[in-house]
Structure 1
């Protein structure tokens, strides 16, 4: 009977030693924050990108539907550069269909005539500097296989390839059409793509002037053209020495659009503004888009710096560890560095930190159970400014914490001895022991009595 009770006890202990461990994982990093300048931007929409770090530092209505006007010609140029290898020695004849389309629309022109034979190089310079609409049509007609509509299809395919989601073209020159639209974010994508992937585009679009070469209709020196961006003209009151290129675009329906690059002290920016007003309240022409560009560049050059906000391995918090062999806690540290373009006038002490530990990895008392592996993710660490998320990095274990088998097994045994099952087992065992004692005692008494009876009979 004693052997039977012992077997019951160890069965319960063995069952109590069985357990399981659960793990999980979650969030990611955030996009860089954008800042707002302390002056008014007249343009309806704008996007400013630091080209060195590929970070947007300012935006205003970036996804608002706008009309591109002659900014369209940037995409026209890219399609030409994709399809024409030798710009200097490729000559296109100006077809009648191009002039028929432009007739009576007041389109900007360099003066090319029907039947004139012009090199692609000259067509590209007149397209991007003079904003010549006939140059756009001539290029589109020939590159599109004598079909301007085919060329426009190529423009729309290229826009999708670049990543534009709010852009649609119906012509290569940008004259108004309600179905030709874009937004500042898409135009920034197109312009940045052009700058980073087409050296020839940059060469042409940042030139300040150009001499058109002789043709079958014109002699040498027939046209000396200047960039339509007055910020490049030293004699203009809008001249800005740090500005380069790229393209203007103006229609009554679109307002004044402008894309430029700005460089100073090794800092390089791309700026898109759209929808700056054409006239003031008195009906006088205004050119506030130039002021927008100059003001935004000065703001960026004077105030932005590339700043490290987080360093990998910085201790943020710690967690208590159950059954640790070498330690009863683990430090949680940042997994990555984080740096971004930061406005120097904004004090980093204003940053608010949020610690998020995955509750599924914790015990009910807020502890974790060993073993813990170095680098194991337990949550995230987030920095915000005025409610806007700046960055989120993982929180990971700084060191390994091994499992103490002795401590673990002792705890499990302790848990078992305080459980209802253990108490039940003790009661059952006690009852069985008592029954056993009673039975043994009764058996002994019976045997003793039997011996006495037997002894009497014997006498």
Structure 2
């Protein structure tokens, strides 16, 4: 028994001596790794954010069962800048808070009402605005009501730094106060077709009644991009401005500006709005407008909304159209007008089947699926002319886009005759009656002449 105990002790001792170096080495590696991670976290928080962002970016390149990019943004949309065709959409008509992307509309109104060289007065309501503002973040709260700033510097402060105070400088100098300016914003939005938006503040700080949609914001972005002053400002990576004789350098918060095709745009974030981004991209000469709303936004270094934008842009540039309707498909009926007797008679209409003579393609998405249609404007076509040439021009349309396509009508002479059978029978009866009457009148006239000649002949015989 004692021998067994001694033997077991020896075996246990040898085992520990053999494996302990590996255990110590493993502990050392894990401990060093932990210390290294903690040191990196303390000395380079941005690197850590970028590392986590790269992981997020890879995840966002994944696609769902429909082949659409998986993004964190809850609402998004892209459309072709030149044609207006919506390529990608995700809940694009839902009401969302736009945060500082609101400033696109504010910038547009500034450009339409002031010149870059105009002097704008710094106002009391501008000074009351919270960070991020030029007054607090750059001037240490030394800006005073009555100070003047050029409109161009205010534009740069608005679009590059996204200064909350600059938006109120614009509102007060353009409209007198922010309430009147909001009226201008809403009118301009409606003029642009952004009918599901309502703006309260010029800077986009949260208000429950201040909202837009991804689709509406895309229209506002395009209008802003088409304005030379706004466009040239959004394209700047950084720019100097002068405040109270002090020169400061502003950096654009559009962190992917100049990368992957990002030409220009505007960022935004509040807690209720999440991360917002509206941009115009260009690749190989083709421009696409994009909007992402309610993405993840942990801090100012969070790249999620930019990764979302790259994902939907990559999808949009690679997207090909699907078949909406095929050549030979029935696309409904068309009402064409005509007169029963070609040039005269009451104007009537006849419904005729319409078929496509070409394939019609579209970008498949929720908006186009719901709103695509093919119509025929037959106001200048006559049923009689269509008998000899049945080819017609149709219009394929969806939101913000339309194109001409070709089709044909299935119209026959028998259909027109059948449609007017009563008129034609009645007309034939009337015609027969008229002809009969004419013949009777002619016969009566002829008989009268014969009687007259007979009477005249008898009178002459009596005289002789």
TM-score (norm 1): 0.58
**1:107–1:175 contact (8 Å) kept in structure 2:** no
Is residue 246 of structure 1 aligned with residue 262 of structure 2? no
Supply the RMSD in Å over aligned alpha carbons: 4.4
What runs of 5+ residues in structure 2 fail to find an aligned partner? 1-64, 332-351, 365-372, 376-382, 426-464
Distance change >3 Å, CA 261–CA 400, structure 1 → 2: same
Return the offset for 1:216.
Answer: 3.8
Is residue 227 of structure 1 aligned with residue 257 of structure 2? no
What's the counterpart of residue 154 of structure 1? Answer: 184
How far apart are the structure 2 equivalents of 1:274 and 1:372? 50
Equivalent residue of 2:256, what SS? Answer: helix
What's the counterpart of residue 396 of structure 1? Answer: 408
Distance change >3 Å, CA 60–CA 91, structure 1 → 2: same
What's the counterpart of residue 135 of structure 1? Answer: 166
How far apart are the structure 2 equivalents of 1:268 and 1:44? 23
How far apart are the structure 1 equivalents of 2:254 and 2:138? 19
Structure with higher helix content: 2
Equivalent residue of 1:192, what SS? Answer: helix
How far apart are the structure 2 equivalents of 1:52 and 1:306? 20
Please list the CA deviations of residues 302-325 of structure 1 after superposition, one character each: whole Å capped at 9, or x if unmatched: 3347999878xx8989xxxxxxxx
**2:120–2:173 contact (8 Å) kept in structure 1:** yes
Distance change >3 Å, CA 195–CA 370, structure 1 → 2: closer
Is residue 194 of structure 1 aligned with residue 224 of structure 2? yes
Equivalent residue of 1:248, what SS? Answer: strand
Distance change >3 Å, CA 117–CA 316, structure 1 → 2: closer
Distance change >3 Å, CA 375–CA 43, structure 1 → 2: farther
Equivalent residue of 1:259, what SS? Answer: strand
Please list the CA deviations of residues 277-336 of structure 1 after superposition, one character each: whole Å capped at 9, or x if unmatched: 224xxx99743211111112222223347999878xx8989xxxxxxxxxxxxx998577
User: How many corresponding residue pairs?
Assistant: 312
Q: Residue 132 of structure 2: which of 90, 107, 115 is its match? A: 107
Return the offset for 1:382.
Answer: 9.7
What's the counterpart of residue 256 of structure 1? Answer: 275
Q: Residue 59 of structure 1: which of 89, 94, 99 is its match? A: 89
Q: Residue 92 of structure 1: which of 120, 124, 144 is its match? A: 120
Please list the CA deviations of residues 87-116 of structure 1 after superposition, one character each: whole Å capped at 9, or x if unmatched: 1x20112122321x31xx433436362243
Tell me whether 163-172 or 48-57 shows the greater mean CA deviation: 163-172
**2:239–2:250 contact (8 Å) kept in structure 1:** yes
How far apart are the structure 2 equivalents of 1:272 and 1:75? 14
**Larger relative contact order (Cα-Cα within 8 Å, sequence gap ≥ 6):** 1
What runs of 5+ residues in structure 1 fail to find an aligned partner? 1-34, 234-239, 318-330, 344-353, 357-368, 384-389, 414-459
Is residue 206 of structure 1 aligned with residue 235 of structure 2? yes
How far apart are the structure 2 equivalents of 1:140 and 1:393? 46
TM-score (norm 2): 0.57
Is residue 374 of structure 1 aligned with residue 388 of structure 2? yes
